[in-house]
């Protein structure tokens, strides 16, 4: 039964890796990750897919290359890519330095050391990387009230990675067969979590980037007339309804308010207690709530598009986040309350 579960996870992982690679070209691009971090994300997905192919070949036919030096090298590569990808999300500026690519060099040890040494060593390096990431995630604690979801994503992925690493380190005692099965299942769980979160919260990458930028930012509003800037922002949002533009971006609204993107982001965070994306979604959802009740014949999709959302998935995710329920249910509940 456990082997069948592993095979199911392997098949799912291959599909999920392909979908995440495609999604990364659009969803994660909005977060403007450093080139090294984006490349590391692609390498990570490719390495995990290759490892799952090796696990599948071993489970179906026995033998294969799961347990060879190439397999051990992929473990090193996956650990380094995981660290560089999440380091890029947590510390974008620090991750732009090309010398960090030396983290892939230990993969060459897989071809010179005995496998009994190389495989645990690969996971030991992963433990060190996961520990460093845990420290960086901990620095987001002061912003947990505003960025609970984004911080939770980092913590969840770190927990999955830590479980993988602990199983890898325990492989000399639990046996390599048990390790491969457990590793295949955990890879599947990690990819499932990533795919679910991206579908459930389509703007999560940009929100996470905003959370990190806020956590590490130095104040940019020292010479800004905050009251005047807030007045300009309120006029744009309340009177001119800038949020109706589905392509509204931090940079675009900043230009209209006479601020830099960093200044506007800090202003919104400090004044309203939310990130920029959540700030805009609040206006759109509030307008959608009124429109859902005032125009009962309008479809839910047309309402979402009318208030500035670019897609139905974005609309549903934002509406649920703000109100705790989906648009259709909100409309029905409102109609029942008024006797409609």
Residues 6+ apart with CB under 8 A from 308: 243, 244, 245, 246, 248, 280, 283, 284, 287
pLDDT of residue 29: 46
Selected residue with higher pLDDT from 167 and 105: 105
Q: Domain-by-domain residue ranges, the chain?
A: 2-212, 222-338
pTM above 0.75, yes or no: no
pLDDT of residue 141: 61
Mean pLDDT score, 231-249: 92
pLDDT band at 95 (very low <50, low <70, confident <90, very high): low
pLDDT of residue 212: 62
Mean pLDDT score, 73-79: 91
pLDDT of residue 259: 87
pLDDT of residue 87: 81
pLDDT score of 190 more than 90: no
pLDDT of residue 233: 93
pLDDT score of 102 more than 80: yes
**Structural contact between residues 7 and 182, judged by C-beta atoms closer than 8 angstroms:** no
- Span 2-212: which CATH code? 1.20.1070
Cβ count within 10 A of residue 234: 12
pLDDT digits (tens, 9 = 90+) for 277-319: 889 999 999 999 999 998 888 899 999 999 999 888 889 988 9
Residues 6+ apart with CB under 8 A from 95: 34, 36, 37, 84, 87, 88
**Structural contact between residues 330 and 289, judged by C-beta atoms closer than 8 angstroms:** yes
pLDDT score of 74 more than 80: yes
H or E stretch including 157? helix 148-169
The dihedral over CA atoms of 121, 126, 131, 136, expressed in degrees to the nearest 10, equals 150
For the record, the structure tokens of 20 come out as: 């995440």
pLDDT band at 21 (very low <50, low <70, confident <90, very high): confident
pLDDT of residue 207: 63
Selected residue with higher pLDDT from 149 and 169: 169
pLDDT score of 250 more than 70: yes
Which fold would CATH assign to domain 222-338?
Arc Repressor Mutant, subunit A (1.10.10)
3-state SS assignment for residue 241: coil
């Amino acid at each position: 039964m456990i082997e069948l579960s592993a095979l199911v996870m392997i098949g799912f992982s291959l599909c999920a890796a392909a979908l995440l690679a495609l999604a990364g070209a659009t969803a994660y691009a909005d977060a403007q990750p450093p080139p090294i971090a984006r490349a590391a994300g692609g390498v990570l997905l490719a390495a995990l897919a290759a490892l799952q192919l090796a696990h599948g070949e071993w489970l179906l036919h026995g033998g294969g290359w799961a347990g060879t030096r190439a397999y051990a090298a992929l473990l090193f590569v996956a650990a380094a890519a995981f660290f560089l990808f999440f380091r890029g999300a947590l510390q974008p500026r620090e991750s732009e330095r090309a010398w960090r690519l030396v983290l892939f060099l230990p993969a060459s040890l897989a071809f010179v050391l005995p496998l009994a040494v190389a495989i645990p060593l690969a996971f030991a390096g992963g433990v060190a990387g996961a520990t460093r990431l845990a420290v960086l995630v901990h620095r987001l604690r002061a912003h947990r009230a505003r960025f609970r979801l984004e911080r939770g994503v980092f913590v969840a992925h770190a927990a999955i990675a830590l479980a993988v690493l602990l199983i890898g380190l325990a492989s000399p005692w639990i046996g390599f067969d048990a390790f491969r099965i457990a590793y295949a299942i955990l890879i599947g769980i990690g990819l499932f979590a990533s795919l679910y979160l991206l579908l459930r919260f389509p703007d999560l990458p940009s929100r996470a980037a905003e959370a990190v930028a806020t956590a590490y930012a130095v104040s940019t509003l020292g010479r800004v007339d905050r009251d005047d800037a807030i007045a300009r922002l309120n006029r744009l949002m309340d009177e001119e309804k800038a949020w109706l533009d589905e392509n509204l971006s931090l940079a675009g609204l900043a230009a209209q308010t006479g601020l830099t993107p960093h200044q506007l982001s800090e202003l919104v965070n400090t004044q309203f207690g939310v990130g920029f994306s959540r700030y805009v979604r609040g206006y759109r959802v509030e307008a959608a709530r009124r429109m859902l009740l005032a125009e009962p014949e309008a479809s839910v999709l047309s309402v979402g598009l009318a208030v500035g959302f670019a897609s139905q998935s974005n609309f549903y995710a934002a509406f649920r986040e703000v109100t705790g329920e989906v648009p259709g249910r909100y409309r029905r509940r409102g109609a029942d309350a008024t006797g409609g």
